[in-house]
Structure 1
């Protein structure tokens, strides 16, 4: 195709998008929200994942909020939890207030994720807790602390490997056994 129709290098075609990744977060600040959006864009453009974030689909979500949230939790291949101080307050019952719809959604999603976690006998296949640089592990819900916590953007390669269900470091292939030759020296 002519250069004007070619896609930029590193961009994955829509047909290659298979895995659905849902990102859940609390809206701590504009800076925090911008970091969540950068993560979503990176996973979409560099990883080729179908990334869903509530801020991208507000009009769909408005028709039936709980059905929309249930669909994202149940049908996503992975859920990235962006842990933050407000996220922890929202899910631990110290927030949100009645007028904080996003915080209430966060609590609902957290409860649904805990149910999946318990149904899987506390083995975490689906939920990936991510800490933005600068946040401590205490901002992560207690039930997720017994799994690997990733830092964004520092651990981006590890997160991508987790989404691909691959190990970052591969075991070397076992080679042939060495042959030992004994030379007799008759001098």
Structure 2
């Protein structure tokens, strides 16, 4: 069985909407064939404790996606890897010590939400490939597949990354225009109408030349 790239998502529970956004991303990655893990993968708190479980997942992951927000950065700077318990659980966030410990074992990838700022990322991650999901899910997908990311420009990425076919390169191009509405189609139709008229004009000119020649020589 081929190796499934293992992806761990580190994020802070900023709001219910943000948590849902992260869950949607995890679901999207799983649908695309990645082995994606985050704290919601567990029904209960791990017996070994969140800190140990977090460290084990960082060690096992091929890539760790870091969901960069101001709140995440604040917790990173205050070294709050674990915040809250049970219903108040606040997600698993990197600390400088954890980053240094696992930097050689997993590839950390900073992720921004639409409109996010690079300054929201922990300082060690600001020099790495950063992906804004609304604009470059395909680039992230290629990176996780160990391919050179090809950034897509603005309007070229018309597919919302949460759509079922957003990650397929063949489906990220804008739809082909209806040929009936293109200028080229209009000009082609016009030329078709003009052709018979041009033949008539040529025939008349030839006849005039023949008549003139007949008059001159006879």
Query: For 1:75-94, what aligned pairs fall within 5 Å after superposition?
Result: 75-93=60-78
The answer to whether the 8 Å contact 1:28/1:85 transfers is no
Equivalent position to 1:160, from 141, 146, 152? 141
Deviation at 1:154, TM superposition (A): 1.6
* CA apart distance, 1:168: 3.8
**Match among 88, 93, 97 for residue 106 of structure 1:** 93
Q: Count the aligned residue pairs.
A: 147
Superposed CA RMSD: 2.7
Higher relative contact order (CA 8 A, sep 6+): 1
Q: Structure 2-normalised TM-score?
A: 0.59
Report the 3-state secondary structure (helix = DSSP H, G, I; strand = E; otherwise coil) of the residue aligned with 2:44.
helix
Normalising by structure 1, we get a TM-score of: 0.68
String of CA shifts for 1:46-104, please: whole Å, max 9, x gaps. Answer: x20011010221425244322211110001111000101110010011x7599635458
What SS does structure 1 have at the residue aligned with 2:93?
A: helix
Which structure carries more helix by proportion?
A: 2
User: Which whole-Å CA distance do the structure 2 matches of 1:164 and 1:97 have between them?
Assistant: 28
Cα separation, 2, equivalents of 1:97 and 1:78:
18
| 3-state SS of 1:146 partner | coil
Which residue is equivalent to 2:115? Answer: 134
- 1:1-187 residue pairs with structure 2 within 5 A? 18-45=4-31, 47-59=32-44, 61-93=46-78, 96=80, 100-101=84-85, 102-103=89-90, 105-108=92-95, 111-117=97-103, 119=104, 126-169=107-150
| Secondary structure of the corresponding residue to residue 37 of structure 2 | strand
Q: Distance in 2 between matches of 1:58 and 1:99?
A: 18
Structure 1 pair 83/58, CA: closer, same or farther in 2 (3 Å)? farther
Contact 2:110 2:125 in 1 (8 A): yes
* Structure whose CA Rg is larger: 2
8 Å CA contact 1:73–1:113 kept in 2: the answer is no
**Cα drift, residue 33 of structure 1:** 0.8
**Which structure 1 residue ranges, 4+ long, deviate > 3 Å from structure 2?**
95-99, 101-105
CA contact (8 A) 1:16 1:48 kept: no
Following the alignment from structure 1 to structure 2, what is the Cα–Cα distance between the partners of residues 160 and 58?
28
Structure 2 Cα separation of the partners of residues 144 and 154 of structure 1: 19
